[in-house]
């Protein structure tokens, strides 16, 4: 997928998701070709590593509302707070739109389409009968057994509305704050714009960015809480390190400028990413010509999965791989070993299908983690007898390693935390 990416970068021809439901222009589903290359160029321009600091103020401003939502939930159901954090932040970063309330229509429309894709269209692996027998798409919708066509027609409207609505708000806003879309529209390539396709590509690429980060952020947060519940000693170590940088109390919220001074927090971030890899098998790549690899014949059209789960649990690289152990990233190793141990090499995908928003996603998730560590006590709930209740989780999603819901106790570390959270809006 890396060295032979020229032939290992296609996607499966999923008729239901792409043709019938209309998701074929989303980056995750786009077939390898000219449209895909245009989308990648746009994302490379808007999400280049050098551009990410321009989004830091937006990411930082999102942390206080997140803390307020988490404390309001008391941890009994933290997923909505995390979903709203990721959704609101992406709405701001991608479109320059601010969600001022929980029922913001742009937020609800995109969240609804994202839920539809993850839990209905692609649930169970995303394979429908029409994907195996494409001729079924020509059936009249009234024929018995053609219920998938009626579903697709309804779902298509939801997906297209989620793409068009926030983009139309941006276009009609006049002067918009800096965002992914406004940056690309301002720096429009005249040669491409003349073809009347760049705005179309910007619109679909923007929607793809939003949709891709919701479930991955939720999955990461679930595993972070699980790691802290299983190993409270790591929580305490991280808090001691944060207090040494932020001041006792703490006296302020963490910022991106603090990151070089927080090696254990960084190690904990990396271990959460490795231990709770959000998409264990990635998204399948389709090979576009016959190939031989390691003595195996791989026919044209084959789907090839990267077993990211196994890569990040290789005992030769990660001793005792099932154990949550941030200390493994604090060991002195040579550069090659450090590269092989870096989960970011794997979790964001491979080759020409690697997530182009990796730097933005990493930045937002790192600050979220550092903020929760600095401001919150994270504990297991207790039953009526005072005994701690162990989290009972199951993994039921076919793509993301999200867990079933579980509860944690979240409370402020001190009164100064409440004052910090109350500041600003």
Q: Is the dihedral of CA 278, 280, 282, 283 positive or negative?
A: negative
* CA angle 171–173–176, rounded 5-degree value: 95
Q: Is the pLDDT of residue 173 over 80?
A: no
Model pLDDT for residues 366-393, shown as the tens digit of each residue = 999 999 999 999 999 998 888 999 998 9
Residue 191, number of CB atoms within 10 A of its CB = 8
In the chain, pLDDT over 70 holds for what percent of residues? 95
What pLDDT is recorded for position 193?
53
Model pLDDT for residues 2-30, shown as the tens digit of each residue = 999 999 999 998 999 999 999 999 998 99
Asked if the bond preceding 250 is cis, omega within 30° of 0, the reply is yes
Q: Residue 376, SS3? A: strand
Q: Is the pLDDT of residue 196 over 80?
A: no
Q: Which residues pair with 297 in a beta bridge?
A: 292
Q: Is the pLDDT of residue 238 over 90?
A: yes
What average pLDDT does the chain have? 90
Q: Where are the domains of the chain?
A: 15-422
Widest distance between CA atoms in the chain: 71
What pLDDT is recorded for position 190?
59
What pLDDT is recorded for position 425?
46
Model pLDDT for residues 394-424, shown as the tens digit of each residue = 987 778 888 888 989 999 999 999 988 887 6
Torsion of CA 362, 368, 372, 374, to 10 degrees: 80
What is the Cα–Cα distance from 44 to 357, expressed in whole angstroms? Answer: 8
Q: Is the pLDDT of residue 341 over 90?
A: yes
Side-chain-facing half-sphere of 194: CA atoms under 13 Å:
2
The CATH code of the domain at 15-422 is: 1.10.630.10
Which pTM was predicted?
0.91
Model pLDDT for residues 274-303, shown as the tens digit of each residue = 999 999 999 899 999 999 999 999 999 999
Instruction: Report yes or no: 218 and 82 within 8 Å, Cβ to Cβ.
Output: yes
Model pLDDT for residues 84-115, shown as the tens digit of each residue = 898 889 888 889 888 877 788 988 898 888 88
């Amino acid at each position: 997928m890396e060295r032979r990416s020229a032939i290992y970068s296609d996607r499966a021809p999923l008729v239901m998701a792409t043709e019938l439901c209309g998701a074929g222009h989303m980056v995750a589903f786009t077939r390898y070709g000219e449209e895909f290359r245009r989308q990648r160029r746009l994302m490379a321009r808007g999400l280049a590593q050098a551009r990410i600091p321009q989004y830091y103020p937006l990411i930082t401003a999102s942390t206080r509302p997140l803390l307020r939502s988490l404390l309001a939930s008391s941890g009994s159901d933290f997923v909505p707070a995390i979903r709203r954090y990721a959704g609101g932040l992406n709405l701001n970063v991608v479109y320059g739109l601010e969600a001022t309330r929980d029922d913001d229509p742009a937020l609800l429309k995109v969240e609804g389409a994202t839920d539809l894709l993850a839990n209905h269209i692609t649930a169970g692996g995303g394979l429908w009968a029409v994907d195996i027998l494409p001729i079924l798409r020509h059936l009249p919708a009234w024929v018995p057994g053609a219920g998938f066509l009626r579903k697709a027609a309804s779902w298509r409207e939801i997906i297209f509305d989620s793409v068009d609505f926030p983009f139309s708000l941006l276009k009609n806003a006049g002067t918009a704050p800096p965002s992914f879309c406004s940056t690309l529209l301002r720096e429009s390539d005249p040669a491409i714009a003349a073809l009347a396709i760049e705005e179309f590509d910007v619109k679909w690429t923007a929607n793809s960015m939003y949709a891709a980060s919701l479930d991955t952020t939720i999955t990461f947060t679930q595993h972070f809480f699980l790691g802290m519940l299983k190993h409270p000693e790591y929580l305490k170590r991280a808090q001691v390190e944060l207090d040494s940088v932020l001041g006792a109390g703490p006296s302020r919220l963490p910022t991106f400028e603090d990151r070089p001074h927080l090696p254990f927090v960084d190690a904990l971030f990396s271990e959460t990413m490795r231990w709770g890899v959000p998409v264990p098998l990635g998204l399948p790549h389709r090979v576009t010509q016959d190939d031989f690899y390691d003595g195996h014949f791989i026919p044209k059209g084959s789907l090839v999965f990267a077993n990211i789960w196994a890569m990040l649990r290789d005992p030769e690289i990660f001793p005792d791989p099932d154990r949550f152990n941030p200390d493994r990233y604090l060991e002195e190793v040579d550069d090659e070993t450090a590269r092989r141990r870096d989960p970011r090499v794997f979790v964001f995908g491979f080759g020409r299908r690697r997530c182009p928003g990796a730097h933005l996603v990493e930045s937002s998730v790192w600050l979220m983690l550092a903020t929760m560590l600095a401001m919150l006590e994270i504990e297991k709930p207790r039953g009526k007898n005072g005994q701690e209740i162990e989290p009972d989780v199951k993994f039921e999603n076919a793509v993301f390693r999200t867990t079933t819901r579980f509860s944690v106790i979240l409370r402020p570390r001190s009164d100064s935390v409440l004052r910090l959270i109350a500041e600003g809006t």
